[in-house]
Amino acid sequence: MRQALSGIVSKSISPLKTIMIIAMAVTFVVAGAASSFAARSAAIVVDAKTGKVLYSADADGRRYPASLTKMMTLYLTFEALAKGKISKNTPVVFSSKASAEAPTKLGVKPGGSVTVETAILSMVTKSANDSATALGEMIGGNETNFARMMTAKARQLGMNGTVFRNANGLPDPGQFTTARDMATLGIALREHFPQYYGYFSQRSFLYGRQRINGHNRLLGRIKGVDGIKTGYTRASGFNLVSSVSDGNRRLVAVVMGGTSGGSRDNQMASLINTYMPRASTRGGGDLVAKADSNPIKALAKVLLPKHDAPTPDEKPVAVAEADTAAADDATIAQGDSEDEDSAEAEAPKLVAPARKVKTVIVSAPKVATAQVVAAYAEPAPQAVDPVKTASVPSGWAIQVASSPKQSEAQAFLDKTTKQAPKVLADASGFTVAFDKDGVTYYRARFGGFGSKDAAWKACTALKKKKIECYAVQQ
């Protein structure tokens, strides 16, 4: 730049004027960079009692959610808990895929497990990517199905600008959201699951002998803040959703695309201090309608052609995809993580300003829509029973029964567990559907055995209790 300027500046111009010209040019470049950074940020403040938007800045612009994605993973986990499909003590088995997720994570080895409650705590504090994937696989059967469930649930909640591709928020160019949608989800979590919402105020928890501290530094710093979630990747910048309660007033605020954790936290604190006094002391009742119990209609909205989309109708639009150019963005790297402390120390390159990307037409999924919708219909046969453990543990399993009724197979699992609690202490029960001569049957199995010998040993112990079984490899 100095050489270019020197070619323009005449020798007749005094040194002082030359310095002024250079200063003006530098100011212009810096201002341009600052405007780019400003363009990538988004924020919204919503009165959580009335739904009134008190502040908005590009609230409907597309942003990468990063680990804010885990809010939806937790929503579906809370829903499964509330319906009795799982309990806080249900073992969450970590597949090879879950164990291999990028940090931050708990570091559970393939085949290992933690309880549902431990997985929840690790997500709200450490933002553990491996726990999110493991939970998604357990509830959805596999992470791809779980991501479809997440997007379908988003539509049911009115989050029309959001598409999920995974359970943890690690970079995926097809996964996006808006500040407005994240505020909706934050409100829904409190309204629909007040019995579990307290997890979001957890600042640390014990994992074995290790004390794991959380990333949400506003807890305990700003009066009334009781959650919810932080998020960071290089592509997204620093994100935060906060719920604040002060007397009879309540806010949910969202900041996305911060240039650092500190600046994001300061912006959030400023928004809370400014708009909390303006929130209403009246109001009440749910602002976000609970999702209906039948997921087929919502799933169809996600997978079937959208005739109201701002694109031609010749081809079906499966979901609104991010501009494929985003996939070439160097900031979307598989090595991205949600380690805010490391990110601050490494001064991440937040070079690609987030922008409103165009909606493009994509082909429908290779799997027929009817097949995908049927996969969520109940009581359609599934490869795995989502009521108990929707994820088939890898490795070896033991089969104890087979029945034409899924309820009978599940009842046999429960009975066997009560008869041999010590033998099956580290195992997890599940059912597997199969067809024979046009009839659907359900195998009752216990998984989680790391070797053939371990499965045989458990089976031998069960036989001593007059429980027939045999070992099978998954």
Cβ burial, residue 42 (10 Å; 0-12/13-18/19+): buried
**Tokens found for residue 327:** 């996939």
Q: In this structure, how many other beta carbons lie within 10 angstroms of the beta carbon of residue 208?
A: 7
Give CA 335 to chain center in angstroms.
18
Mean pLDDT, all residues of the chain: 74
Q: Does domain 41-298 have CATH number 3.40.710.10?
A: yes
**Tokens found for residue 463:** 């036989």
DSSP 8-state secondary structure symbol assigned to residue 279: S
Amino acid at residue number 182: M
Q: Which residues contact 329 (CB under 8 A, 6 or more apart)?
A: 173, 235, 352
pLDDT for 425 = 82
Class of domain 396-473: alpha beta
> Looking only at Cα atoms, what is the longest distance across the chain?
104
**Tokens found for residue 301:** 């909205």
Give CA 203 to chain center in angstroms.
19
- By annotation, the residues acting in catalysis are 67, 70, 127
**Tokens found for residue 263:** 């600046």
pLDDT for 395 = 64
302/210 Cα distance (integer angstroms): 42
Read off the pLDDT of each residue in 239-256 and give the average, rounded to a whole number.
92
Q: Which of 349, 326, 323, 322 is nearest to 336 (CA)?
A: 349
pLDDT for 434 = 72
**Tokens found for residue 43:** 């924020």
Annotated domain spans of the chain: 2-38, 41-298, 396-473
User: Is the pLDDT score of 59 beyond 70?
Assistant: yes
**Tokens found for residue 339:** 């380690």
Alpha-carbon dihedral sign for residues 207, 209, 213, 219: positive
320/123 Cα distance (integer angstroms): 27
Residue 187: φ, ψ to 5°: -65, -45
Q: Can you give the pTM of this predicted structure?
A: 0.60
Note the pLDDT tens digit of each residue in 301-341: 444 433 332 322 222 333 333 332 233 233 333 334 555 55
User: Is the pLDDT score of 164 beyond 50?
Assistant: yes
pLDDT band at 20 (very low <50, low <70, confident <90, very high): low
**Tokens found for residue 109:** 């080895």
42/180 Cα distance (integer angstroms): 9
100/170 Cα distance (integer angstroms): 12
Note the pLDDT tens digit of each residue in 336-390: 455 555 555 443 333 333 333 333 333 333 333 333 333 333 333 333 333 333 3
pLDDT band at 14 (very low <50, low <70, confident <90, very high): low
User: At 203, is the secondary structure helix, strand, or coil?
Assistant: coil
